[in-house]
């Protein structure tokens, strides 16, 4: 009976017979909630560590991907450069071949002219010898 007037006034006794302002049920639920909050905070901390590790890993992979991307771009540019260089070299060689063909054609014409001159001179010599 002595507990009821105290309870009405908002005072309670706990299991150790200490005077409390909260009801024992509320006090117990508060302690449970506090423990659950502590566990939740611990789990959030673990989650944060996991996410931090994951972010670090993703950052490393991103850096590697960027590095590989730059290497690929460099290789592609080098390939384009080599291709253009070969095209230029091919054009130079084709120009040289064309020039040599023209030179061969000039030599052929000159040769035919010289053969004609030789033939004419041989004929002249033969006629000159026959006339004597």
* CA 65 to each of CA 53, 72, 75: distance values in angstroms, whole numbers, following the listed order: 18, 10, 15
Start-end of H helices in the chain: 3-9, 24-131
Mean pLDDT of the 96-105 span: 97
CA–CA separation, 117 and 110 (whole Å): 10
pLDDT of residue 8: 61
pLDDT of residue 1: 43
Q: Taking the C-alpha atoms of 74, 80, 82 and 87 in order, what is their torsion angle to the nearest 10 degrees?
A: -170
Total count of domains within the chain: 1
* CA 49 to each of CA 41, 61, 123: distance values in angstroms, whole numbers, following the listed order: 12, 18, 109
Chain segment 23-69, per-residue pLDDT in tens: 667 777 888 999 999 999 999 999 999 999 999 999 999 999 999 99
Q: Quick check: 80 and 87 in contact, CB under 8 A? A: no
**3-class DSSP assignment, residue 20:** strand
Question: How would you class 61 by CB atoms within 10 Å of its CB: exposed for 0-12, middle for 13-18, buried for 19 or more?
Answer: exposed
Chain segment 77-92, per-residue pLDDT in tens: 999 999 999 999 999 9
Percent of the chain exceeding pLDDT 90 equals 72
Q: Which domain holds residue 117?
A: 3-131
């Amino acid at each position: 009976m002595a507990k009821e007037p105290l309870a009405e006034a908002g005072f309670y006794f706990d299991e150790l017979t200490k005077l409390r302002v909260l009801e024992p049920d509320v006090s117990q639920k508060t302690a449970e909630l506090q423990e659950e909050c502590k566990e939740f905070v611990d789990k959030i901390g673990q989650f944060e560590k996991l996410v931090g590790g994951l972010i670090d890993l993703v950052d490393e992979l991103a850096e590697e991907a960027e590095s590989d991307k730059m290497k690929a771009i460099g290789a592609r540019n080098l390939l384009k450069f080599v291709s253009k260089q070969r095209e230029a070299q091919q054009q130079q060689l084709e120009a040289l071949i064309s020039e040599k063909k023209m030179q061969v054609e000039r030599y052929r014409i000159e040769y035919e002219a010289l053969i004609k001159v030789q033939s004419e001179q041989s004929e002249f010599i033969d006629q000159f010898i026959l006339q004597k």
